[in-house]
Structure 1
Amino acid sequence: MRVLYIDDNRINLKVIEAMLGIRSAQALSAPNGEVGLAMLDAEDVDAVLVDLRMPDMDGFEVLRRIRGRGDAKASLPVCIVTADPDSNLGAQARRAGADEFLTKPVMMADLFAFLDAVEAQDPRPAVRACP
């Protein structure tokens, strides 16, 4: 599984990369929305994690641009991630088209539950390693 994580905070990127590594998922990291969207154009990914509060382009704008694409990537599973304590943000994120909403610090079990849901909906056959 390949997961694109967009966050302007380098430490947050490293933490999520480490969690994805534990899950044996490949992490692709972007430091802002513009770079993340460019990476989405160039790379095949299975899911997107995007920080809500970034200086140049917030997570809602990134989500809007992903959902507005004219290709299959418009329907990629997207999870909004935030440290913002506003309890209404989860509902806002889902109304905007997010598949999931996680708060920081992200709990590994919550991240893995999102990835499990992504894998459960993936119509491609699983690739299993030979013993």
Structure 2
Amino acid sequence: MTQMAKALLVDDRRENLTALEAILQGLQVQSVAVESGEAALKRLLVDDFAVILLDAQMPEMDGFETASHIKRRERTRHVPIIFLTSADQDAQLAMRGYAAGAVDHLTKPFDPWVLRAKVSVFVDLWLKTGQLTAQSALLQEREAQRRLLTEAIDEATALLRTETDPAAVQRAIGLLEQARWGNTG
């Protein structure tokens, strides 16, 4: 079963977090709300997220500094960030957000259906990436099994070509059985 996607919601105002949680309700995503950049960075140490909705203007550590830390970490550098800023803020904030690593920028008040659509896209991408990773691991495992089987067949064939002793034939059969069942004895 695939793990449920999570969205990290970061805003210093509780009422904004409540509104974001309501907007995302009904989507196949678990909302995780935090009230500071520091709290967001701590959550990113223990959880994986499909998308981050990040308020640009927060006290202490603002959204730009938070994004900068997120993008410097190997574990989180590819998590998409959507910046949320107030309409009365300078237009340069959008450019600053993109420079900090954001994939998108929405100005408050924004259309909730637009935000839902954007989050849905990132959730779908996250789920598909997880599926591809699982399929890749399975293919690597099968390739390793194929290599073991090929090596066992080669070794057993070499034994059968050079040995006529019944014990050697039994050893060759044992090699093939081990390879068949994935044992490397």
TM class, shorter-chain normalised?
0.7 to 0.9
The 2-side partners of 1:28 and 1:63 are apart by 17
Equivalent residues of 2:27, 2:120 under 8 A apart: no
Q: 1:57 aligns with which of 54, 61, 66?
A: 61
| Superposed counterparts of 1:11-26, under 5 Å | 11-26=15-30
Structure 2: which 5+ runs fail to align? 132-185
Larger relative contact order (CA 8 Å, sep ≥ 6): 1
| Residue of structure 1 equivalent to 2:84 | 81
| Residue of structure 2 equivalent to 1:124 | 130
| Residue of structure 1 equivalent to 2:38 | 34
Which amino acid in 2 is paired with 1:7? D
Q: How many Å apart are 1:92 and its aligned residue?
A: 2.1
Deviations 1:83-104 (A, max 9, x none): 1432222222112210111111
| Residue of structure 1 equivalent to 2:47 | 43
State the percentage of identical aligned residues.
Answer: 31
The 2-side partners of 1:120 and 1:36 are apart by 22
* 1:62 to 1:84, Cα distance in 2 relative to 1, 3 A: farther
Equivalent residues of 2:51, 2:123 under 8 A apart: no
The 1-side partners of 2:77 and 2:8 are apart by 14
Deviations 1:47-88 (A, max 9, x none): 11111110111000000000011x231110111111143222
| Residue of structure 2 equivalent to 1:110 | 114
Bigger-Rg structure (1/2): 2
Deviates further, 27-36 or 104-113: 104-113
Structure 1: which 5+ runs fail to align? 126-131
| Residue of structure 2 equivalent to 1:4 | 8
Q: How many Å apart are 1:45 and its aligned residue?
A: 1.4
Structure having the larger proportion of residues in helix: 2
| Residue of structure 2 equivalent to 1:67 | 71
Equivalent residues of 2:29, 2:123 under 8 A apart: no
Which amino acid in 2 is paired with 1:107? D
* 1:27 to 1:120, Cα distance in 2 relative to 1, 3 A: closer
Equivalent residues of 1:81, 1:102 under 8 A apart: yes
What do you get for the CA RMSD once the two structures are aligned?
Answer: 1.8
Which amino acid in 1 is paired with 2:39? V
Equivalences, count: 125
Deviates further, 98-107 or 60-69: 98-107
Deviations 1:18-69 (A, max 9, x none): 1111324211010111111101112121111111110111000000000011
